[in-house]
Structure 1
C-alpha cells in the first residue's frame, strides 16, 4: 500500500497532466507567461510562473519515480494505480474517488493491456469502472457513458441481469460478476 502522501502526489500529477492536455486549468492553461496572469504585477506574475513551472517539473519527476517502481502506470493521458487491496465494488469505487480518481475503465486495447498488466502483477481479478444498467444487456461506464470498447471473455456477459459489475481476468478479458465479491482495486486518474 502506498503512503497517503503518494496518493496525493499521484492525484496532483494526474490533475496537472489532465489539465495540461485539455488546456482547461484555471490559472494554469499551459503555464502562462505574463499575458495569462493579467492584473498581477510583473514581479508576482513571474514568481507564480516560476512556482508553477517548478511544481510541474517536480510532479513529472515523482510520476517517473513511481512508474519506475511499478507503483503507477501511464497509458495515454491516464495514470493507473493500485493499492493491492481487494474490496467489493462499492468500496473499491469509494477508495478511488477518495484520492481523486475512479475505477479503471479501459476505453481501448492499449488501456486494457495496462490494466491487465496490473491484474497479472497482483494475480487477482479486478473490478472495472463498468456496470450493467437496469435495461437488460445495457453496459455503461460508471459515469453513464455508453461502452465504446469491450473485451468480453468467451460467452460473456452471461449474468442474466443478476451480475451488474464487470471484472477483468489476468488474460485481460472481462466477465460480468456480482458486485459483492472482493476484487483488486485499480484506480485511474
Structure 2
C-alpha cells in the first residue's frame, strides 16, 4: 500500500499529465492559445463571456469567465508544483510521461497494483530516452526495479503489460533466460534488463 505522502505524489503526477493533456487537446486549446490571454503589460488575463474556452461557450458570461479563471489558476499552480517536484528529484519527465517512485520494494503484482491505483502503470521504457529516465530513479535509490514488461504464453517472448510486443529492448548479456520460470523483468543499476521471478521484492517506479 502507498503511504499518504506517496499517494499524494503519484496523484499529483497523474493530475499534471491530465492537465497537460487537457490544455493540448484540439478542442480545448492551451492557455497560450486563448485570444486576449495577455494584456499589453504582459499580465495574464481571460477574455470575458464568449471569448473563452470553446466548450464553455453558451454558458452565462459570469460562469464562462469563472471557468476560464479556474483553469488558468490550476495550470499555473500545477506548473509551479511540477517544477518543485522535478527540482527535488521527486518526479522525472520524459516525453509525454511523468515517472515517480514511492521508494517501496514489493513483488511485481503489488507494484503494478499500487501504480494502477494511483492512475498509472509500471514504468515501461519504449525507447532509449525513457530507459535512461527510469535508470535515473533506479540509481537514485540504488535498487533494481520492476518494469511494465512480462513474459507471454510463449516461453522467451516478452510483451508490454497490455500484451503488445516489445518495440525496444535493453537486455543484459545472456538475457533473457529462465526457460519460462522467470516471467517478470527488472532493470539493473546500469540500465540493462534481466528477467526474474515475479515474487522478488523490487523498487516500484510508476509512469503516468
Q: Kindly indicate whether residue 168 of structure 2 is the aligned counterpart of residue 149 of structure 1.
A: yes
Cα pair distance change 1:9/1:87, threshold 3 Å: same
* Structure whose alpha-carbon radius of gyration is higher: 2
Q: Which residue of 1 aligns with 2:18?
A: 15
Match among 153, 156, 162 for residue 181 of structure 2: 162
Cα pair distance change 1:38/1:96, threshold 3 Å: same
Matches within 5 A, 1:39-188: 39-188=58-207
Q: Which residue of 1 aligns with 2:42?
A: none
Query: Shift of residue 15 of structure 1?
Result: 1.7
Cα pair distance change 1:70/1:156, threshold 3 Å: same
Answer whether contact 2:156 2:180 (CA < 8 A) is retained: yes
The CA deviation string for residues 80-135 of structure 1, in whole angstroms up to 9 with x for no partner, is 01111100000000111111111000011010001001111111100000111011
- C-alpha RMSD of matched pairs (Å): 1.8
Answer whether contact 1:2 1:83 (CA < 8 A) is retained: no
TM-score normalised to structure 2 length: 0.83
TM-score normalised to structure 1 length: 0.91
The CA deviation string for residues 37-86 of structure 1, in whole angstroms up to 9 with x for no partner, is 13211221111011011101111111110011110001111110111110
Query: Shift of residue 36 of structure 1?
Result: 2.9
Cα pair distance change 1:151/1:18, threshold 3 Å: farther
Cα pair distance change 1:164/1:73, threshold 3 Å: same
Runs of 4+ in 1 over 6 A off after TM superposition: none
Answer whether contact 1:66 1:72 (CA < 8 A) is retained: yes
Cα pair distance change 1:18/1:168, threshold 3 Å: farther
Query: Shift of residue 13 of structure 1?
Result: 0.8
Cα pair distance change 1:151/1:78, threshold 3 Å: same
Q: Larger relative contact order (C-alpha < 8 A, sep ≥ 6)?
A: 1
Task: Tell me, in whole angstroms, the C-alpha distance in 2 between the residues paired with 1:147 and 1:141.
Answer: 6
Q: Aligned to 1:167, what secondary structure does the other structure show?
A: strand
Structure 1 gap segments, 5+ residues each: none
**How many residue pairs end up in the alignment?**
186
Structure 2 gap segments, 5+ residues each: 35-51
